[in-house]
Amino acid sequence: MISLVLGCVLQGAFVLALAPGVNGFIKWLKARMQTRQGPPLHQPYLDLLKWLGKSSVYSEHASWVSRTAPSISFSAIIVTGLLVTTVLAQAPLSLSGDLIAVVYLFTLARCITALAGLDAAGAFGGMGSSRELAISALAEPVLLLALFVPAINTGTTSLPHIVAAAPGSNSASYLLAFAALYIVLLAETGRVPVDNPDTHLELTMVHEAMILEATGRGLALYHWGAMVKQLVLLSILADVFVPWGLALSIDSVGKMAVSALLYLGKISVLAAALAVTETGMAKLRIFRVPDLMGTAFALALLGLAAEAAFHA
């Protein structure tokens, strides 16, 4: 019991501390690619501290939903951070949930945030909520199909068991699932070409429109939760499809250091890929997003069919 609590505290603190840094790295690298100075690497930390130091202001039409939604959404995202592997090949809460639980916790956080966007009775909040739920209806099936590829290979949806088993010899299915999951990552984290996290242009906002009425500590929890969600999805990509180098236990300091360096390296490469994608692509019209998610669905379905045929 003590080891479980210690593992939750250590991994939770690690994920919470690293998530803003990864987001800052993406913004810093995008600015360099666009020949801009851009914000410093530690800017997300400064923003969070600024918002956490301010009190929240609510609309006169807001109910308890707007007041509790940031905490519920943030808590659900944090639990997903305890269900996935990071530096260790084990997750603190792996016995309490699997990859399917991660998807449903994402859904919980999204739905309560969408309700808060509607609760404030603002036009843009309602617009952003409807768009977010429409995109999620397209992204969640792709996310599940892509994650079922390694699940079929290992015979389980438990993330530590999937990570412990190296990718199967049918590498084509893993590549297809990786490509589909990468597209889902763009949609789930509100990045170009699905959404633009760096703008507040009213007619194109999705996630930012839902939290437009949030202020102070609530706004900090929304943004911090979005950063943690991004890191969780990057960790799934890094550890499920490139599982090598993870430490099996905390007994050896040297192995832990090597595992941490490899993990940070994989996350940095994926973050750089996000920066390249956002720099090289333009934002799609909202009516073109289903085409992109349809492509991701086809890739995930092909990967699932290939993996099922391989094990038949």
What does the block give as tokens for 93? Answer: 């809460």
pLDDT for residue 194: 92
User: What are the Cα distances from residue 283, in Å, to 141, 192, 278?
Assistant: 22, 5, 8
How would DSSP label each residue in 258-306? HHHHHHHHHHHHHHHHHHHHHHH-PPPPGGGHHHHHHHHHHHHHHHHHH
pTM (global) more than 0.85: yes
* pLDDT reported for residue 196: 83
Q: Is 89:163 a contact under the CB 8 Å cutoff?
A: yes
The verdict on whether omega for the bond into residue 92 sits within 30 degrees of 0, i.e. cis, is: no
pLDDT for res 201:
67
> So what's the pLDDT on residue 311?
79
Run means of pLDDT, 10 residues per run, the chain, 312 residues: 75 95 96 91 96 91 93 97 91 87 95 93 86 93 94 88 71 92 94 83 78 93 96 95 81 83 96 94 89 96 91 76
Q: What is the pLDDT of residue 8?
A: 84
The pLDDT assigned to 160 comes to 86
**pLDDT of the residue at 249:** 73
Cβ atoms of 26 and 271 within 8 Å: the answer is: yes
Q: What is the pLDDT of residue 81?
A: 95
Residue 166: per-residue pLDDT: 65
User: What pLDDT shows up at residue 145?
Assistant: 94
- The string of DSSP codes covering the chain is -HHHHHHHHHHHHHHHHHHHHHHHHHHHHHHHHTT-----TTHHHHHHHHHHTS-----TT--HHHHHHHHHHHHHHHHHHHHS-SSBSS-TTTTT--HHHHHHHHHHHHHHHHHHHHHTT-HHHHHHHHHHHHHHHHHHHHHHHHHHHHHHHHT---HHHHHHSPPPS-HHHHHHHHHHHHHHHHHHTT-TTT--TT---TTT-SHHHHTTT--HHHHHHHHHHHHHHHHHHHHHHHHHHS-TT-BS-SS-HHHHHHHHHHHHHHHHHHHHHHHHHHHH-PPPPGGGHHHHHHHHHHHHHHHHHHHHHHH-
Predicted local distance difference test score (pLDDT) of residue 48:
97
